[in-house]
Structure 1
Amino acid sequence: MSLRGRNYCESCTLRTAVVLFGGFLVHLALGAMYTFGNFAPYFISYIRNRTDDTEIRNVDSLWINAAGTIGNCLGLTVGGIFALKFGTRIATFIGAVVFCGSVAASYFTVNDSFIALVLTYGLTGYLGHKLTYGTPVQTAIKWLPEHSTLAAGIIVSGTGGGSLIFNQVITGYINPDNLSPDLTTEDGGRYFTQPELLGRVPTCFLVLGATYFGLQLIGIACLSDPPPNNQQVNSDFGEISKSKSDKLPVELKSYKSKEDVSHEVSGQVAVVHDNLGYKHDERTEQSFAPSATALPDNTMEYENKEVSTEDSIPKELSIMEAIKFALRCRSFYVVWLTIMLMNGGMQFINGLYKAYGLTFIDDDHFLALVGSLAAVFNCIGRPIWGAVMDKTGFRLQSVVYLGDL
Structure 2
Amino acid sequence: MFSMGQGAGYTAVLIVVQKWFPHRIGLASGVIIAGYGLTGFIFSPIETKFINPHNEKVNDDGYFTEENLLKRIPYMFLLIGGVTITMQIIGLTFVGSPRLTKEHGAKEEIPLKFIDVCKTSIVHICFTTLILNSTWYEIMSGLFKVYGEKFISDDFFLSIVDSMCSASNCISRIIWGLIVDKVGRLSKVHGSFMHYRFNSYVDFTFSQTYWE
TM range (shorter): 0.7 to 0.9
Structure 1 vs Structure 2: percent identity of aligned residues? Answer: 30
| Secondary structure of 1:163's aligned partner | helix
Matched, 1:368 2:159: yes
- What is the CA deviation profile of residues 244-277 of structure 1, one whole-angstrom value per residue up to 9, with x for unaligned ones? xxxxxxxxxxxxxxxxxxxxxxx57xxxxxxxxx
Matches of 2:20 and 2:185 in 1, distance apart?
A: 21
Query: Once the 2 structures are TM-superposed, how far is the Cα of residue 402 of structure 1 from its aligned partner?
Result: 3.6
Query: 313, 316, 333: which one pairs with 2:111?
Result: 316
User: 2:103 aligns to what?
Assistant: 232
Taking structure 1 as reference, are residues 376 and 315 closer, same or farther at Cα in structure 2, changes over 3 Å only? closer
Query: 14, 17, 30: which one pairs with 1:137?
Result: 14
User: 2:90 aligns to what?
Assistant: 218
Query: Once the 2 structures are TM-superposed, how far is the Cα of residue 396 of structure 1 from its aligned partner?
Result: 3.6
Matches of 1:214 and 1:177 in 2, distance apart?
A: 29
Matched, 1:203 2:79: no
In structure 1, list runs of 5 or more residues that go unmatched: 1-123, 234-241, 243-266, 269-312
Matched, 1:328 2:119: yes
Matches of 1:327 and 1:148 in 2, distance apart?
A: 22
Q: Which has the higher helix share?
A: 2
Matches of 2:143 and 2:109 in 1, distance apart?
A: 48
Matched, 1:176 2:53: yes
Query: 364, 369, 378: which one pairs with 2:169?
Result: 378
In structure 2, list runs of 5 or more residues that go unmatched: 200-212
User: 2:210 aligns to what?
Assistant: none
Query: 133, 142, 157: which one pairs with 1:351?
Result: 142
Taking structure 1 as reference, are residues 173 and 221 closer, same or farther at Cα in structure 2, changes over 3 Å only? same
Return the TM-score normalized by structure 2.
Answer: 0.84
Bigger Rg over Cα: 1
Query: 188, 192, 212: which one pairs with 2:64?
Result: 192
Letter in 2 for 1:232: E
User: 1:340 aligns to what?
Assistant: 131
- What is the CA deviation profile of residues 351-391 of structure 1, one whole-angstrom value per residue up to 9, with x for unaligned ones? 21111110121100000111110000111111221111011
- What is the CA deviation profile of residues 100-128 of structure 1, one whole-angstrom value per residue up to 9, with x for unaligned ones? xxxxxxxxxxxxxxxxxxxxxxxx12221
- What is the CA deviation profile of residues 132-153 of structure 1, one whole-angstrom value per residue up to 9, with x for unaligned ones? 2111111111100011121111
How many residues matched? 196
Matches of 2:109 and 2:48 in 1, distance apart?
A: 52
Taking structure 1 as reference, are residues 198 and 333 closer, same or farther at Cα in structure 2, changes over 3 Å only? same
Backbone CA RMSD of aligned residues = 2.2
Matches of 1:375 and 1:150 in 2, distance apart?
A: 19
| Secondary structure of 1:162's aligned partner | helix
Q: Which has the higher strand share?
A: 1
